[in-house]
Structure 1
């Protein structure tokens, strides 16, 4: 029997020797097959994490045991992949629990690997751009923790377009200027971005950020003097509207009435009746009234439009509710009905007309592609448009539209012209008016002088004060870099900006002289430029010859307009950290938000490179990946 086994072994050895196989080769082949199977399994793990992260959906389940009915999106998605991939299913079934690589710590590592690979791309792009701007804002998440959103704005050298890219959510150790500045510096350092390349900073108007003595912007400028501070234009515009709403008596009363309407119609019984009336009146789309807020951009305009479009249904609902059996609802309906007069309708039309203009500006400012000069031009056009509304003809048109709306909805026209009364001479010294008293508006002329003119004048005053690049000596040089501006390539206009960013006057003069010749030749060849972006594209092939001028053009496009991208990142944060998802760590939260905000970059990552980076970073490897 032993001789038989020996002969079989000898025969098998001769066959293998004849084919040239060696034991070491067989071992290497087995090792290679094992690595391929392990990497195929890890592809399923990585793809499950990448998919859930890019979609912004929850990954972990409340109970992730094997016998749990719902183990969470990550485990369930991996199980679905296993049904179509035998290798993945084999590893899930046979690997020890500590070698399946589904633990939340391993998830954190893989998510961080993907996030860091994208951050490296951003770091390289910022380095190529040579200049960047930082945008920062802070907000509380669902767990009441203050989160700082850090975003960089720079010129992408490949696309020649300005982009704004999210970097990190960083928990705020403190809300004082020193703590916030330290967090910003730490975030930039962690991402490998050189602080000294910053040419601008943009925050909201909070004193801790914008303070000229010890605010974050001042601390930043002490380290990087060239980083000019720009107050977010979207926040500026919101401050203009809020100031008008609160500081003009007629406007304050009107918007308080809007809020009263919203509260009354938010009740379930009244709201159902309101929707029913809209159906009866053939409203194309059911519309709910909007809540007012001082911090939500353009919410005033949305609230006005909702009331104006549904005013017939509002009046019909109030008329039915004043006959309601419920005494409280009946009383409230009578109070609200008393506010629905011609004066309210007139203000509704006035503010809808004015705020439509500012709404257009608010929407445009939120684009990351906007540059400062374009924003200033837009602000000046809005100022001109509002100025043109301050006419008797426009007031007459508003009155006519209000009268027609009152007739269509059955609202009584109370403000009729009345005879002007005069106080007798001998009684003038005995009539006293209280200094805190606000006189009523009994006629249309009084409405015009106490409401129409004050509203427009207040808006114009605030817009002119808050929107002017000429107030900043550095920014006043931007028009000289715009081909459509009369001061295009004017040395005296651009010189303060050039000095601020370290450009010598001699070099600037020489380059301006040569670039005028270049533009003249291009114009003779039929090439014209109409914007800063076209000017930059034209100068790019000659950037080594016009080093300083190209630098100034790049900076002019890079300088920030708003911090709206920070607000958008907070919208992502609210989706990630909700009432049911509020226990994830700071690092995981930031990385998940980063992948959700950059889904195109995340999906473009090479999965083999992700696995290689994970294998190198993960010290305690239970399965061989390399």
Structure 2
């Protein structure tokens, strides 16, 4: 008997044409991810993509009831247009949004707006004042942030060649999202100074070098910045940033051959001190500093008991707080050691009185009674004081970049002169290459405080010799660590020092400026012009010879009889060199602001709002403006009253350039289906 063939099953696919039929057009949708099924938006049901099944579904009781309910509701259509509100009210709304951005969370605007209207009932600015958390959020993202982005791009664009440097670092926020922080350093002719301004917090898909470079190039494209105009890259000493084979700098170097890497000097000095102390000093020194802070940090009773003892000994003066050694703050050990040494006798007496209560107090008392620990801390204070001065100078935004070389030389001398033979280094640069082990001084001088206190102490000569030997080992290790970590920084600073007015106005100059021009990637033709201008600049009478920035601004504004700046190439070289970063302090400050803005109560804040708040805060700081005295332009005030500015995807301002419009829309845009954004602006139990 012949077996009949089994009928082949036919799978109908969804057809877009069905949506135009009268019986289907209001509810029929395709099912994402499956082209053999359809979706009823009224019943929230999945259907087979077959015409007969769809027609059967139309006749069901459930579908008819849903159709009847929905068809009975009226649909309100909103038209995007301009709200005819009082211009003074718009300005007041803009100022309130600026205040919220700079000082507090967005949820505060709900009460602040009502409070202002009640407090100033006679003011015309409060007539049409309507600002609450949803509108305030949209104004910050879609009006204020694009304005400040446009302002930054225009400020960078005023440069002839738009040279700039970037400072980058990665961090993790409170929601465990990996972020790449980017700060741009450029010369602002508008502000007449070198500016370090926040650029963006870019989310990282991967934390390796490739992911960081992709996020960096995406940011540069968003802001319309040419990557070939980047002259310097400032990073910390992490291997992912500075790795020889696959680091971020090595990958960027393939696209930007003349890019200069500037390792953060503050990070280098911090690592040098940490490694030297770990391998040479006794471990109980770290225990003493850490546990002294922990003893008082969580107990008000202990603080009060110690305060009574301190005031009794010091005639009513209150004690200073014992500081914590923090891993995220450079050389935080130095102020902690200062505080303990200043209160050594009082702390010894306090722990002697409470030693019977706790084993930790008894252990700390025995350490404070041991004079060897006191000698170790005296030595640490003397040497860390010099390192701390260098760190504070490099992290200062107002520091003269051409005088940083002297700071580094002074530090190298102070560290090496304690342990090396006198006159062993003929030049300052010799300290970077000298063999320390072969040139050790047999009788090193460890500082007046250490030497005088070691003579007065009751310790034996053998004990003092052992302490001194370990201090010498610490000094030797610190000098070697500095030699290993700072030669590249020294080379860049040495080249930059030739741009100082005192050097450039000398008549008997050599051609050493060409080395800096080669380092920055200038071709032979421009180097020849730079050398001619380098030798001719001393024949002009200049007024501002004491300030580096003012001097080069004067040179930039100089014109001859034909209205031509004959020192144009030399000015561009100087501006490019002055924008080189020497510390990661700028990006570390941004991360501090990020942790303040996005905290535990605001942990679901989305990226666009976080970027907008940090960007506005930073630009107000850079321009030395406040929320109450910053003058918003008229087109920004007018944009506050437009419905189009309160949507999640906005159109750029007509006067904005293409690069500025792209950056502005990126800062402001957020998908309406983004759960984090929806919760961020609607949930009452979350503080914005």
Q: Structure 1 length normalisation: TM-score?
A: 0.76
Instruction: List aligned pairs for 1:516-527, cutoff 5 A.
Output: 516-522=535-541
Instruction: List aligned pairs for 1:391-410, cutoff 5 A.
Output: 392=444, 394-395=446-447, 397-401=449-453
Structure 2 counterpart of 1:432: none
Contact 1:113–1:610 (CA<8 Å) still a contact in 2? yes
State which of 541, 546, 561 in structure 1 corresponds to 2:557: 541
1:335 and 2:363 are equivalent in the alignment: yes
State which of 138, 141, 145 in structure 2 corresponds to 1:108: 138
Change (3 A) 1:515 1:292: closer
State which of 191, 197, 213 in structure 1 corresponds to 2:223: 191
Structure 2 counterpart of 1:349: 378
Instruction: Give the distance between the partners of 2:502 and 2:91, measured in 1 at CA.
Output: 54
Structure 1 counterpart of 2:495: 477
Instruction: Give the distance between the partners of 2:137 and 2:327, measured in 1 at CA.
Output: 40
Change (3 A) 1:459 1:277: same
Instruction: Give the distance between the partners of 2:127 and 2:557, measured in 1 at CA.
Output: 57
Instruction: List aligned pairs for 1:192-591, cutoff 5 A.
Output: 192-250=224-282, 252-266=283-297, 268=299, 269-282=301-314, 284-324=317-357, 329=358, 331-340=359-368, 341-370=370-399, 372-390=401-419, 392=444, 394-395=446-447, 397-401=449-453, 413-417=457-461, 442-448=462-468, 450-469=469-488, 477-484=495-502, 492-522=511-541, 529=545, 532-533=548-549, 535-542=551-558, 544-591=565-612
Contact 1:114–1:610 (CA<8 Å) still a contact in 2? yes
Instruction: List aligned pairs for 1:50-199, cutoff 5 A.
Output: 50-55=98-103, 57-60=104-107, 73-83=108-118, 84-85=120-121, 91=128, 102=132, 104=134, 107-129=137-159, 130-199=162-231
Report the more deviating stretch, 488-497 or 139-148: 488-497
Instruction: Give the distance between the partners of 2:136 and 2:504, measured in 1 at CA.
Output: 60
Contact 2:90–2:638 (CA<8 Å) still a contact in 1? no
- CA RMSD of superposed structures (Å): 3.0
Following superposition, the deviation at residue 395 of structure 1 comes to 4.7
Contact 2:505–2:538 (CA<8 Å) still a contact in 1? no
Per the alignment, in what secondary structure is the counterpart of residue 604 of structure 2?
Answer: coil
Contact 1:477–1:497 (CA<8 Å) still a contact in 2? yes
Per-residue deviation, residues 372-408 of structure 1 (Å, max 9, x unmatched) = 542232111112123344475545641323666xxxx
Contact 1:477–1:495 (CA<8 Å) still a contact in 2? no
Change (3 A) 1:209 1:605: farther
Following superposition, the deviation at residue 487 of structure 1 comes to 12
Stretches of structure 2 lacking an aligned partner (at least 5 in a row):
1-81, 420-442, 559-563, 648-688
Instruction: List aligned pairs for 1:23-34, cutoff 5 A.
Output: none
Following superposition, the deviation at residue 545 of structure 1 comes to 1.9
Contact 1:141–1:147 (CA<8 Å) still a contact in 2? yes
Instruction: Give the distance between the partners of 2:589 and 2:336, measured in 1 at CA.
Output: 22
Per the alignment, in what secondary structure is the counterpart of residue 202 of structure 2?
Answer: strand
Instruction: Give the distance between the partners of 1:278 and 1:229, measured in 2 at CA.
Output: 50
Report the more deviating stretch, 457-466 or 338-347: 457-466
Per the alignment, in what secondary structure is the counterpart of residue 229 of structure 1?
Answer: strand
Number of aligned residue pairs: 525
Change (3 A) 1:124 1:206: same
Per the alignment, in what secondary structure is the counterpart of residue 153 of structure 1?
Answer: strand
Stretches of structure 1 lacking an aligned partner (at least 5 in a row):
1-33, 61-72, 93-99, 405-412, 418-441, 622-626
Contact 2:517–2:573 (CA<8 Å) still a contact in 1? yes
Instruction: Give the distance between the partners of 1:529 and 1:132, measured in 2 at CA.
Output: 25
Per the alignment, in what secondary structure is the counterpart of residue 480 of structure 2?
Answer: helix
Contact 1:152–1:167 (CA<8 Å) still a contact in 2? yes
Change (3 A) 1:619 1:49: closer
Instruction: Give the distance between the partners of 2:522 and 2:248, measured in 1 at CA.
Output: 26
Contact 2:259–2:520 (CA<8 Å) still a contact in 1? no
Change (3 A) 1:42 1:267: closer
Following superposition, the deviation at residue 219 of structure 1 comes to 2.0
Per the alignment, in what secondary structure is the counterpart of residue 136 of structure 1?
Answer: strand
Structure 2 counterpart of 1:610: 636
Contact 2:164–2:184 (CA<8 Å) still a contact in 1? yes
Instruction: Give the distance between the partners of 1:568 and 1:321, measured in 2 at CA.
Output: 40
Instruction: Give the distance between the partners of 1:570 and 1:620, measured in 2 at CA.
Output: 28
Per-residue deviation, residues 182-221 of structure 1 (Å, max 9, x unmatched) = 2122222222323222111101111111222221222222
Instruction: Give the distance between the partners of 1:565 and 1:574, measured in 2 at CA.
Output: 15
Per-residue deviation, residues 219-259 of structure 1 (Å, max 9, x unmatched) = 22222222211111111111111112212134x44223322
Per the alignment, in what secondary structure is the counterpart of residue 598 of structure 1?
Answer: helix
Q: Structure 2 length normalisation: TM-score?
A: 0.70
Structure 2 counterpart of 1:49: 97
Following superposition, the deviation at residue 486 of structure 1 comes to 9.7
Change (3 A) 1:534 1:607: closer
Per the alignment, in what secondary structure is the counterpart of residue 529 of structure 1?
Answer: coil
Instruction: Give the distance between the partners of 1:249 and 1:518, measured in 2 at CA.
Output: 53
More helix by share: 1
